[in-house]
């Protein structure tokens, strides 16, 4: 059993670096972030009003998850404040359970208060569920954000899921600052 566990972990981790395409430069990542926000606003009614109310938001254009018993997930993105990229980040997480396949998705994590944004920016590494709670919004079939009902200081959206694996959770996700040229 231990051998199967180790083999599954190594297999999942071996595929992750090749499956995740990191942007080579800040300019390339910025372009991907702008396109992701454009798609988010086009596909979700009320997204533009919602993002305008946020103090800042993280955008991860492409997060790749692979799993064979154990799963690993990673992607790069930017923190947008005042409609400009303020810093760059990598998201990573791991999971254990019944899973097999690969998935690509986009994520937006909005900081609705200046306090929540400041706490995130001052952290050296931020983990969902430990350093802060993120209310995950399921848009459902209507795909509309009702800004009047959102009272949480940090709100997350997962959209554009493509692939064979589906898991709507951010719990345990680690977000770390990276440098881009």
- Per-residue pLDDT tens digits for 161-181: 665 444 556 767 888 899 887
Q: Which residues contact 6 (CB under 8 A, 6 or more apart)?
A: none
Q: Which token pair is 2?
A: 């231990």
The span from the CA of 23 to the CA of 76, in Å, is 8
How many whole angstroms from its chain centre is CA 66?
15
Query: Which tens digit of pLDDT belongs to each residue from 15-29?
Result: 444 444 455 799 999
The span from the CA of 135 to the CA of 152, in Å, is 7
How many whole angstroms from its chain centre is CA 13?
19
Q: Which token pair is 145?
A: 């954000």
Q: Is the pLDDT of residue 13 over 60?
A: no
pLDDT of residue 102: 79
Q: Is the sign of the CA dihedral 80, 83, 85, 90 positive or negative?
A: positive
Query: Which tens digit of pLDDT belongs to each residue from 28-77?
Result: 999 999 999 999 898 888 888 889 999 999 999 999 888 777 778 899 99
Query: Which tens digit of pLDDT belongs to each residue from 76-127?
Result: 999 999 999 999 999 988 777 666 777 888 999 999 999 999 999 988 777 7
Q: Is the pLDDT of residue 7 over 70?
A: no
Beta strands (DSSP E) in 22-153 are: 56-81, 84-111, 126-127, 135-136
Whole-model pTM: value is: 0.79
143: left (phi over 0), alpha (psi -120 to 50) or beta: left
- Helices and strands per DSSP (H, E), number in the chain: 4, 6
User: What backbone phi and psi angles, to 5 degrees, belong to 94?
Assistant: -135, 160
- 155 exposure class (CB count in 10 Å sphere: 0-12, 13-18, 19+): buried
The span from the CA of 181 to the CA of 174, in Å, is 22
pLDDT of residue 9: 44
CB 168 within 8 A of CB 63: no
């Amino acid at each position: 059993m231990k051998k199967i566990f180790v083999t599954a972990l190594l297999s999942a981790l071996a595929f992750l670096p090749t499956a995740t395409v990191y942007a080579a430069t800040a300019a390339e990542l910025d372009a991907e972030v702008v396109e992701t926000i454009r798609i988010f606003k086009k596909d979700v009614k009320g997204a533009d009003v919602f993002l305008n109310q946020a103090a800042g938001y993280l955008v991860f254009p492409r997060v790749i998850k692979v799993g064979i018993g154990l799963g690993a997930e990673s992607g790069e993105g930017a923190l947008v404040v005042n409609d400009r990229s303020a810093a760059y980040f990598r998201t990573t997480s791991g999971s254990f359970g019944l899973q097999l396949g690969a998935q690509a998705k986009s994520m937006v994590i909005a900081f609705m208060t200046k306090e929540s944004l400041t706490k995130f920016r001052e952290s050296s590494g931020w983990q969902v569920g430990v350093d802060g709670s993120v209310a995950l919004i399921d848009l459902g079939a209507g795909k509309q954000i009702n800004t009047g009902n959102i009272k949480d200081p940090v709100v997350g959206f997962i959209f554009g899921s493509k692939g064979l694996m589906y898991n709507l959770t951010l719990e345990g996700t680690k977000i770390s600052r990276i440098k881009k040229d």
